[in-house]
Structure 1
Amino acid sequence: MPLMEAARCFTSDGLKVTFVNMEFTHKQVMSAWSEKDGETDLMQMVCITDGLEPWDDRNDLRKWLEAMSRVGPSKLEDLIEGINKVDDEKITCIIADFCMGWAIRVAQKMGVKQATFCPSSAANLALAMSVQKLMEDEVIDSKGVLLKNEMVQLSTTMPSMDPAHFSWLCMGDLVRNQISFDVIILGGKEAAEASDYIICNSNMELEPGVFTLFPKMLPIGPLLSTTRSAKQVGHFWKADTTCQNWLDQQPVCSVIYVAFGSVTVFDQNQFVELALGLELTNKPFLWVVRPGTAYVYPSGYMDRVTHGKVVSWAPQQEVLNHPSVACFVSHCGWNSTMEGVSNGAPFLCWPYFAEQFFNTTYICDIWKTGLGLDKDETGLVTRGEIKSKVEQLLSNKIVKENALNLQEKVQARNSSYNNLRNFVDWIKEGGDNQLANENAQPSS
């Protein structure tokens, strides 16, 4: 979604964009995109194969990444050559998600400009770009395995990091951790270093230390459709718009909004604890339970919780912008974090994997705009914990004030706006590689 939002900003400035997804993802996005208000004469949605069959399990991270890395480069090159043959305006720049490092190698091979796009926090990419230093300091070994569990600070301008929460060490199991380090982290590092520029869905107010350490990174966020009075696109599922009418009927700052993105999975016991915890708050709640899940609600639950509404998917930016929403119970993915921050929402943080744990550090310890949920000795976030933390959050005037103050700073987005304009001009004019982050000071 943030990359698509960036593409829409580019077309608004007259750039012609071909947006490339993997075929499986492309079908999901297009099936949920009932009104193609993001696709214009200047933007076309296309796809290439990820190398797997339709019935293959894309949750098998090793199989999926290996297949995509194997077939992706040649398929992308064929796509670009095909466009160049029939279109008078040739492809002049490839902007690739940093998780797709191989796309930058295609750009180098074809002699076009290249830029890396970071949809996660800039700190997460900074971590990837600091892997060599972490090895030299014997924090990790050459395979990314943790050697010492001491807080790490990449520079004096950045907050300390808990190495146990390095993104590649929080993927769920040792196999996925290793794949994440080998393909995503090292591949992303290689792509970022090779790119002409790095653009980030972040903001100078949120991560000043990162942009001081790495001036090559340009914050152009927050990339939100609501800032342009447009409809959000890029969902995997169709949003249930009835929640808007329901929110209209709730008192101001009364609703607990609960959503965990498109990946988080709970076991049945945790699902029940969450359901009962929301019931115990005795406050109106809007809860997103993704399509295709097989959870079983507690007996009689849907009849009892007349103060709550459960939907399969929600237009999240519009929901968070609604005056009735009091707080956001979130997995703290960066996209959700940016949306919550931009709408002044206090967070109740429930990270699931990868960089979400460090995003939680930002929210709770650096920005102080939210609280974290604690697990019991069995690993569950209990119904009592949920009820207690909701009550603490909603009664905490300082957290709410911090959230509103941060919202005001982020919404100004002056440096992001200037960086975006300069980046677009660089693409149009064929740039001389002198583009720089206007706010960051060169590092020593």
Structure 2
Amino acid sequence: MAIAESVGLHVLVIPYPAQGHMLSLLDLAHLLSSRARLAVTVAVTTKNRPLLDPLLSRSPDVVPLVLPFPNYPALPPGLENSKDLRPAFFRHLIHALAGLREPLLRWARSTPHPPTAIISDMFLGWTTDLAAELGVPRLVFSPSGALAVAITNVLWRRMPQRSNLDDHDCPISFPEIPGSPVFPWRHLSMLYRTYKQGDPISEFIKEGLLSNNTSWGFVFNTFSDLEMVYLDRLRKDLGNPRVWAVGPLAQPDGPAERGGVSSAVASEIMEWLDGCPEDSVVLVCFGSQKVLAPPQAEALAAGLERSGARFVWCARGATAVPVGFEGRVAGRGLVVREWAPQVAILGHPAVAAFLTHCGWNSVLEAVAAGVAVLTWPMGADQFANAKLVVEEAGVGVALCDGGDAVPDPDEVARVVAESLGQSGKELSNRAKELSRKALAAVKKGGNSFKELDEMVAELSKLRVK
């Protein structure tokens, strides 16, 4: 009998309702239910309930707790899944979700099997007080890496400012972090850059992020071979050894519909890749939210065309692919406008490189698949992630920088072509070596495998008391 079964552990999982945050936390919920044998309840709002379907299909013991989205007039209808990341809406969404506190309290006090622990997203700092009121530990789940969280902690504790308020490239240094990284102001979190002292929502966000550091523990979707120095720094910084790295959580053998609905298009992509030589294709994808402006799409298309390379371009949303482009690259290029199974594509032997915005899920999926990362960070933690894969892990190449930047088509062509050619072999070899370490971490006996067991064991000690 597993430890969790013997002491009756029941974890309430509370995601932040954005796909990039939810997917990895739902992967963790699956592990807690299937491997650790914990009882798991996942709290979601009504419109996000369908995102649980892949989890519930493979983890029948996970129970959904569906709550109506809090009444919050400042948010337009339908914005509860955070598809619009304009600063005002993003900030309001974080604030609005605190309205779930009372419904969650009522549920926890009325259910016959109340939660014995809470695992919640880092943007839900108010759940620290919720856990305290219920008398249970709260673990922060970070959908970002340890480097990005270390930067976040310094920002909100020290509150560094620009020496020149008109200079968006003003350097901000972080001597508290190993390697003393320096980032231009524009690379810092939008939440931080839009902070206004005394503004109620700004202060709420600041308080929530700082309260994470008083939580019982931290769980990261990362692995020690990638971020050991930052994980150790966080343990020292927090004065708390309960910092666990349990990733990469997304695995090639995971659910085919993770993050989207299976379609004929997905099958066509895999069939097309089956006809390509090994290590001959670059995947181009910028996540579920970024829509390229017309000049960006035109420059990217021109670069892909000039590269002569095979590629799959996931041009989702309103991204406008130039007229005639698909005809000119027919046979070696595939443009996809619907959801595509990113993990499965990256795991295909034909794919050797990934041009990405460097969202943390995408970075880890690339690392696990052993493909080179061509970086175009656009916001949030993506600049820190790009630095990690290019400068530290050595598995990436910088291509472009900034959400409004327009890449040089000739540079796109050069970087893409080299990543698939002979000059990219060293990069590819390093990527494949890091992949071996990533996959070993989550296998029995690996560091991430053991850290998940340690986390459950520590929770079990509290329950036994």
TM-score by length of 2: 0.80
Matches within 5 A, 1:415-434: 415-430=447-462
Q: How does 1:34-73 map to 2 (within 5 A)?
A: 36-44=56-64, 46-52=66-72, 55=77, 59=84, 60-63=86-89, 65-66=91-92, 68-70=94-96, 72-73=97-98
Distance across 2 between alignment mates of 1:40 and 1:267: 42
Match in the other structure for 2:42:
19
After TM superposition, the structure 1 = structure 2 runs for residues 288-367 of structure 1, keeping only pairs within 5 Å, are 288-290=314-316, 293-306=317-330, 307-311=332-336, 312-367=338-393
Q: 1:400 to 1:176 in 2, by over 3 A?
A: farther
**Which of 405, 429, 432 is the aligned partner of 2:433?**
405
CA offsets per residue over residues 163-212 of structure 1, 9 Å max, x none?
A: 536532588x857999997555552221x222111111111111111122
**1:159 CA displacement:** 5.5
- Matched to 1:7, the amino acid is A
Q: How far, CA to CA, are the matches of 2:90 and 2:386 in structure 1? A: 28
Q: Which residue of 2 aligns with 1:278?
A: 304
Assess if the C-alpha contact under 8 Å between 1:2 and 1:224 holds in 2: yes
- 1:384 shift after superposition: 1.4
* Cα pair 1:328 1:345 within 8 Å, conserved: yes
SS in 2 for 1:225: coil
Residue 99 of structure 1: CA displacement? 1.0
Please state whether the residue corresponding to 2:354 is helix, strand or coil. Answer: strand
Q: How many pairs are equivalent?
A: 416
Residue 377 of structure 2 contacts residue 400 of structure 2 at CA under 8 Å; is this kept in 1? no
Distance verdict in 2 for CA 1:5–1:167, change over 3 Å: farther
CA shift at 1:78, angstroms?
1.9
Q: Please list the CA deviations of residues 328-379 of structure 1 after superposition, one character each: whole Å capped at 9, or x if unmatched.
A: 0000111100110111110110111011011111111111111111479x94
Deviation for aligned residue 1:50: 4.5
Match of 1:127 in 2: 151
Aligned-residue offset at 1:82: 2.6
Give, in whole Å, the separation in 2 of the partners of 1:355 and 1:18: 28
Residue type of the alignment partner of 2:245: P
List runs of 5+ in structure 1 lacking aligned partners: 434-444
| Corresponding residue of 1:154 | 176
Percent of aligned positions that are identical = 25
* Contact 2:173 2:183 (C-alpha < 8 Å) held by counterparts: yes
Conservation of the 8 A alpha-carbon contact between 1:222 and 1:342: yes
| In structure 1, distance between residues paired with 2:308 and 2:188 | 36
1:436 equivalent in structure 2: none
Distance 1:123 1:181 in 2: 23
Match of 1:255 among 265, 281, 289: 281
Amino acid at match of 1:308: G
> How far off its partner does 1:121 sit?
1.0
Q: Report the 3-state secondary structure (helix = DSSP H, G, I; strand = E; otherwise coil) of the residue aligned with 2:222.
A: coil
- 1:38 to 1:174, Cα distance in 2 relative to 1, 3 A: same
1:225-240 matches, within 5 Å, as: 225-226=251-252, 229-231=253-255, 234-235=258-259, 238=262, 240=265
- Asked if 2 retains the 8 angstrom alpha-carbon contact of 1:258 and 1:328, the reply is yes
Letter in 2 for 1:21: V
Mapped to 2, the partners of 1:166 and 1:251 lie a distance apart of 38
Q: Is the 8 A contact 2:162 2:185 kept in 1?
A: no
RMSD of aligned alpha carbons: 3.3
- After superposition, what is the alpha-carbon deviation per residue over 1:303-322, rounded to whole angstroms, capped at 9, x for unaligned? 22212112222111111111
Which runs of 5 or more residues in structure 2 are unaligned? 1-22
TM-aligned CA deviation for residue 120 of structure 1: 0.3
Do the aligned residues in 1 keep the contact of 2:44 with 2:64 (CA within 8 Å)? Answer: no
The answer on 1:9 being equivalent to 2:31 is yes
Q: How far is the alpha carbon of 1:105 from its aligned partner? A: 1.8
User: Structure 1 residue 371 and structure 2 residue 397: aligned?
Assistant: yes
Q: Distance in 2 between matches of 1:230 and 1:15?
A: 19
Report the alpha carbon displacement of residue 425 of structure 1 after superposing the two structures with TM.
Answer: 2.4
**SS of the counterpart of 2:107?**
helix
- Choose 47-56 or 17-26, whichever is displaced more: 47-56
Q: CA deviation at 1:34?
A: 6.9
Distance change in 2, residues 1:300/1:62 (3 Å)? closer
Deviation beyond 6 Å, 4+ runs, structure 1: 145-148, 175-181
State how far apart, in whole Å, the 2-side matches of 1:48 and 1:122 are: 32
Amino acid at match of 2:439: Q
Q: Is the 8 Å Cα contact of residues 221 and 248 (structure 2) preserved in structure 1? A: yes
CA contact (8 A) 1:117 1:198 kept: yes
> Whole-Å Cα distance in 2 between the matches of residues 67 and 295 of structure 1?
25
- With 424-433 and 357-366 compared, the bigger mean Cα shift is at 424-433
| 1:188 corresponds to | 209
Matched residue SS, 2:458: helix
**Is contact 2:378–2:401 with CA below 8 Å preserved after alignment?**
no
Label 1:161 to 1:408 Cα distance change in 2 as closer, same or farther (>3 A). farther
| C-alpha deviation, 1:36, in angstroms | 4.4
User: C-alpha separation between the residues in 2 aligned to 1:148 and 1:382?
Assistant: 24
8 Å CA contact 1:134–1:140 kept in 2: the answer is no
For the Cα contact (< 8 Å) 1:168–1:181, is it kept in 2? no
